[in-house]
Amino acid sequence: LESMGLKLFVKDKDTRLPTVTTIVAPHGYDWKEITGYIMKTHNLEISGGLGPSVGLVLRVGLMGCNSSEANVDMVLAALRDALKHCHKSKV
Q: What is the pLDDT of residues 23-36, one digit of tens each?
A: 999 999 999 999 99
- Second CATH level (architecture) for the domain 2-85: Alpha-Beta Complex (3.90)
The answer to whether residue 5 scores a pLDDT higher than 70 is yes
Average pLDDT over the chain reads 93
The answer to whether residue 20 scores a pLDDT higher than 90 is yes
Confidence (pTM):
0.88
The answer to whether residue 75 scores a pLDDT higher than 80 is yes
Alpha helix ranges (H) inside the chain:
31-42, 69-85
**In contact, 86 and 37? CB cutoff 8 Å:** yes
Q: How far apart are CA 38 and CA 42, in angstroms?
A: 5
Average pLDDT rounded to a whole number, residues 65-91: 90
